[in-house]
Structure 1
Amino acid sequence: MTDGQDDHDEREDAVDDPRHDPELEAMADAVEAERGEADASGAGLGEGLGFEAREPALPRALILPGLAIVAASAAPLHPDGYSFLQLLYVAFLRHPLEGVVMLLGFGAPFLFGLIVALAAAFADRGHGARAMLRRFSVANLSLLHAQLLLVSFILAREGVAVMAFALVGFALVSGSYFIIQHAAAAAVGGRVDDQGEIDHADSGPKLHFLFRWGATMVVAICGWVRLQLLIDVRLGWAVEVLLASCMLITILLVRSSKARPE
């Protein structure tokens, strides 16, 4: 067989082989290009919502305000001078379930401080630790919103507080915003594991957003509580500790976000 015949046979094999079809190759290139554009748009959407693809590092300084919030649970809170821990102890004496409900509901701000301190100390231990802390934070903030909505409705119905209906509106708007942001972050979140599957454990809002949102909520609630001085309702100085600590958390997170390289 001559060299010319060999070249002719190779060309015929190339034509018969669909892998060498120019039209199919062009279609494959177009599909890959569209997939790349979709990935880029999804990443851009996530960044636009404030949920980066990579979990940013938390400043270690968050440990201090987080522990200060936890310590505030032992400071005077009730108008009669009782601390939250004392009230919680009495609730557990009445019934364990009542104590648990009080801890998760009224104690949500103090648990928020504990989660912040733990996250600042251990969030860099790996993806599993961050995912667990994120779940705890979402659950904590969800309970905070639920408790705020319940208490605001009761106060508005009884008419025993200043700007009670404003608190109801704030609870509804803030709770709706948190739900929408969480759903949007979950829609664009997730990461691809070693098997090429999407790991939804990494979806949802990042700790930076959760902590800033939680601190903002506590600051707003503390501000409303201090408005009750207009009707001579004076809560203890634990409110000031919560207010100052959450403001410090917000400042540290904002500075940390601005310090990150683009």
Structure 2
Amino acid sequence: MYFCLLNLMIMSFSMQTIAQTQSAYRYSRSKSNLLFNAVTCLDSGVFSLSHCAALAGGSKTVTFFYNEDDNRCQWDCMFLYNENCTTLCTSPWSSYELEHVRNAALHKLPSASSVLQNAISLWSPAYATDGIIQTTGTEIFHSAQEVSPWLMIALQEISTISFLRVYNRDDYRFHDVAVEVSNSSEFVQCGFYKGPGKARQVIELQCDSRTVAQQVRLKIIQGTENYLNIPELEIYIM
């Protein structure tokens, strides 16, 4: 698939004026089929692909879509998982994502605060990184009920985090989740998702600023009777 790398400055679009800011987002055309459909998006006519990317970067969007035939842009979308996307589900739109090298979480063995009923064969943390997306039933990661359940993945090396992608279960328990990172024993919060996530929603998360880390943790930080359910977690690095 043609790979088009864009070196783009984040811009804000007001009426017909594009104002440049100091931050930079780098996007590239999606390298594989996206296993989700866009349900709602911001939608606008644009002058060019660069203009579309500027709108996406200005709203901290991970994935955006560009229709070259009509010069239209869709960004800041809500996605739902679609297991039937074995071919490009976005045609005639082309999809672009924040630049990344690979999913560093794939086949890593995560650790967790707990496992529901200690039933590792049903709810192991390893199911969250096995590359198999199950939004119903067992063979997903499922914590016990806690105040602040968490799931942590140690990357192979210290890496620049591009974005995270979480495939939500067919429920609404993914809420008030902090993205925490560490290069030692101390974790610091670099991002937050309020939620709650919709059933089967695909949630894309970023740190608030450029982040280099070796450990990444998702942790519910509000509420008292919480479960953390994650069918699949992807961590894309530079």
**Larger relative CO (CA 8 A, sep 6+): 1 or 2?**
1
Structure number with greater Rg is 1
Scaled by the length of structure 2, the TM-score of the pair is 0.27
In terms of fraction of residues, the more strand-rich structure is 2
Scaled by the length of structure 1, the TM-score of the pair is 0.25
